[in-house]
Structure 1
Amino acid sequence: MSYHEQNNINIIVLYHSRHGTTQQLARHIARGVASIPQCQATLRTVPEIDSGRAVTPSDPIIDIQELKACHGLAVGSPVWFGNMSAAMKHFWDQTTSLWVSGNLIDKPACVFTSSSSPHGGQETTLQSMTLPLFHHGMLVMGIPYSEPNLHSSFKGGTPYGASSVSKEGHANLDKQVAELAFSQGQRLARVAVALQLSTLSQP
């Protein structure tokens, strides 16, 4: 799924989701990206590695060449024992060619997550997803406390990135959580635009 395909700054929103909450966060981030002029959001997911679980993904599987060409990146995973999911980690383990060539250096990035309990390890999961981004030389950003919802939400939201606390099968995200994800997408897109303009203005 893509938004505003006529625009030339492409932000990939890459996620892995088991029960749908992380996918919902991804969609709100994508809407935030697409609300910024010149930007489009491309939703992508990663392959499952659990061979006993048959899943038809709602969005296309990410291709390394897509990642290479993007102008910015949002990465999301549910909490798995305080870490990113095995499927997301497996994907990043296959990106050595991009690291060697430096294709992601100086591109903006952010992370997001979801868990079924408020103490499930959201912050450590968010931090685990930043590690490969730092190694790729990306410019990792969070959510500033100038966002009012960050002060008052009890259903998710951290300075490290958007998050949600919801039980399996919960139909809709909390309103404040959705707004934080939207704002995070906007911030990522604005930075991507500024970086592109800065690059184009260089002699």
Structure 2
Amino acid sequence: MHEILVLYYSHRGAVRALAELIARGIDAVPGVAARLRTVPRVSTVCEAIEGDIPERGAPYVEIRDLEECIGLALGSPSRFGNMAAPMKYFLDGTAGPWLSGALAGKPACVFTSSASPHGGQESTLLSMMIPLLHHGLLLVGLPFSEPDLTRTRTGGSPYGATHVAGPDDSNPISDEEKRLAVALGRRLAETALKLVAR
């Protein structure tokens, strides 16, 4: 069974919920399973503020998770139009897989959540794509053949799955956002299988 890494950072739970929906799409493709992982929070005054094991959610990611996967889904909340510091901190420490080319040629997708529709979702997705391109990953987005991309009044972007959480994080993930996240996971898994079969 091939695995696809679904790696995320979630502060209030919205990105984690998107990660679980993307994993559902991955798991729906025969021969592929999702491997959910997260990154610990960081602080401006010390390197890490979390214990060795998360209190809830997925386990913390290890470099071997990147090396063993056949694809990667990367998610972070939007922080001023950029990925959150914990995800950036983790990615900054991936020189080993970069030097070895461990991720080169594998497919990847990105996903995010923000407080408002104008909270920098697309620039956050683009900020996550940059290190993936440096690693040689092949980016997979959401094509407009997904009807929810033109119907959604909440989240959703051709760059990746998104969610508009609201200023107090009270907006549930809409039906369109759910379907787009599942579709993105399915598309990533199908692409990964095609590339592995070459």
TM-score normalized by the length of structure 1: 0.91
**Matched letter for residue 12 of structure 2:** H
Q: For residue 124 of structure 2, what is the aligned residue in structure 1?
A: 125
Aligned partner of 2:3 among 7, 10, 15: 10
C-alpha separation in 2, matches of 1:65 and 1:53: 23
Q: Is the 8 A contact 1:9 1:192 kept in 2?
A: no
Taking the TM superposition and a 5 Å limit, the aligned residue runs for 1:74-85 are 74-85=73-84
TM-score normalized by the length of structure 2: 0.93
The alpha-carbon distance between structure 1 residues 96 and 124, as it changes in their structure 2 partners (threshold 3 A), is same
Q: For residue 156 of structure 1, what is the aligned residue in structure 2?
A: 155
C-alpha displacement of 1:171: 6.5
C-alpha separation in 2, matches of 1:57 and 1:91: 19
Q: Is the 8 A contact 1:76 1:111 kept in 2?
A: yes
**Matched letter for residue 87 of structure 1:** P
Q: Is the 8 A contact 1:113 1:122 kept in 2?
A: yes
Q: For residue 22 of structure 1, what is the aligned residue in structure 2?
A: 15
Equivalences, count? 191
Q: Is the 8 A contact 1:116 1:165 kept in 2?
A: yes
C-alpha displacement of 1:135: 0.1
Q: Is the 8 A contact 1:111 1:161 kept in 2?
A: yes
**Matched letter for residue 112 of structure 1:** F
% identical aligned pairs: 47
C-alpha displacement of 1:153: 0.3
Taking the TM superposition and a 5 Å limit, the aligned residue runs for 1:12-161 are 12-50=5-43, 56-161=55-160
C-alpha separation in 2, matches of 1:171 and 1:156: 11
Taking the TM superposition and a 5 Å limit, the aligned residue runs for 1:182-197 are 182-197=182-197
SS at match of 2:188: helix
**Matched letter for residue 5 of structure 2:** I
**Matched letter for residue 134 of structure 2:** H
**Matched letter for residue 105 of structure 1:** A
C-alpha displacement of 1:56: 2.6
C-alpha displacement of 1:170: 2.5
In structure 1, the gaps of 5 or more residues are 1-7, 199-203
Q: Is the 8 A contact 2:107 2:188 kept in 1?
A: yes
Q: For residue 175 of structure 1, what is the aligned residue in structure 2?
A: 175
Runs of 4+, deviation exceeding 2 Å = 50-57, 167-172
**Matched letter for residue 18 of structure 1:** H
C-alpha separation in 2, matches of 1:152 and 1:100: 42
